Amino acid sequence: ETVFDINEIAETLPHRYPFALVDRVISYIPGEKAVGVKCVTMNEPHFTGHFPNRPIMPGVLQVEAMAQLAGIICLNLPDAEKGSVFFFAAVDGVKWKKPVTPGDKIYMEVELTNWKAKFGIAKAKGVGYVDGQKCVEIGSM
């Protein structure tokens, strides 16, 4: 089931190709958590150099995808201003467990752990899975 499709995500986030890294949201609890999907395809520009004979999705883009999912949660909060830009300020406790390659679907689970509406500052944590196996884990972002 799709809660937010690619068009609704584009209404929420400012990111566009090639940096729009959430294809759809399939589960959403307002202000708390979301599950999003990133479909990894060979036509993404980073695969030409990372790596030419063994394409692997860069770990920093996996983290960015989960940060964008956190942005979807925050920018849909009642006190968020429509059209706000969401900045990624820090990340701690990142662990990569499995390479992500073209053809994979990353299922990302992100949970908001802190929200300071007055300052527009959020903290979240997340886990990404491919074929039911953990590929990335973020302790705090």
CATH code: domain of residue 15: 3.10.129.10
pTM over 0.85: yes
Query: What pLDDT digit, counting tens, does each position of 56-76 carry?
Result: 999 999 999 999 999 999 999
Q: Is the pLDDT of residue 83 over 90?
A: no
Structural domains counted in the chain: 1
Is 15 one of the catalytic residues? no
Single out the catalytic residue among 15, 24, 46, 50: 50
Asked if residue 75 is part of any domain, the answer here is yes
pLDDT at residue 117 greater than cutoff 90: no
Residue 93 belongs to what domain range? 6-140
Angstrom distances, CA of residue 10 to CA of 13, 22, 23, 60, 139: 5, 10, 10, 21, 27
**Edge-to-edge strand list for the sheet holding 121-130:** 24-29, 33-39, 105-116, 121-130, 133-140, 92-96
What's the confidence (pLDDT) of residue 119? 81
